[in-house]
Amino acid sequence: MNATILAIDANFDPITEAPFNYREENIYPLFQERGFTIVRRQGESARRTEVAPQARMPNVVYLTGVGHGFPDSYTGDNLDPIFSVGHFSQEEAAGKIVHFLSCETAADLGPDFVAKGCRAYFGYSDNFTYPPNLAEVFFDCDSEIDRGFADDLRQVLKIYTDNGTTVWICTDAQGRFYYQSKTGGRDSPLLQDQNALFLYQVTQLGVDDYVGVDDKGTRIEVTRKQLVVRRPTGKTQVDTVSSAE
């Protein structure tokens, strides 16, 4: 069976319609070009009764979509609760990667997915807001997660620091570099927008030497020896690498 992506998209109001249209034009064609099978539960079919049987399929490796969210739930058509804390099965999460363009779901729903065996959960713990004239810029930034998955990211460096931070540097088929980190120790779950940070514009300065800048202007430098965080305020944090792969 082909690796399958389950697309779960609401589009019943202007707030969901705009990112849905962006994803239809820019993201799902990319998945198809990369050879993935896409099962669509969109529009009126973005409902719990339609989604759950597909999410349980063992060939589904990635759940993604746009919909309204709350700390404890991701919703579909007309706010139908598709995934809610304590109300979906382990089979819908185990071994899968999840990325929802949705407000607040990383607060409680993300940890519930991880507790059920989800490999990684990408979401937001706050509201996802943007100026209307910059909508595509924000959608494009969010979709770097989908593009990274589609392009089969490959790890080139992984470090553990002495204060419990884990950092991955990965590259895709086009030679672009990405930064992913999490805090809380090696065994902590990765919860984007809580204990984790993803950067998609990373520059390689040399062998095992990378730098990225977040949206607040913080410069992050990664080598096999140390992790350096330089904040715009002038404060610098240097963590020693305890081990590297």
What's the predicted TM-score (pTM) here? 0.71
pLDDT at 201: 83
pLDDT tens for each residue of 37-47: 999 999 999 99
pLDDT at 173: 67
- Which amino acid appears at position 14 of this protein? P
Structure tokens at 22: 């962006």
pLDDT tens for each residue of 97-109: 999 999 999 999 9
Domains belonging to the chain, first-starting first, are 4-150 (3.40.50), 154-244 (no CATH)
Does pLDDT of 115 surpass 70? yes
Does pLDDT of 1 surpass 80? no
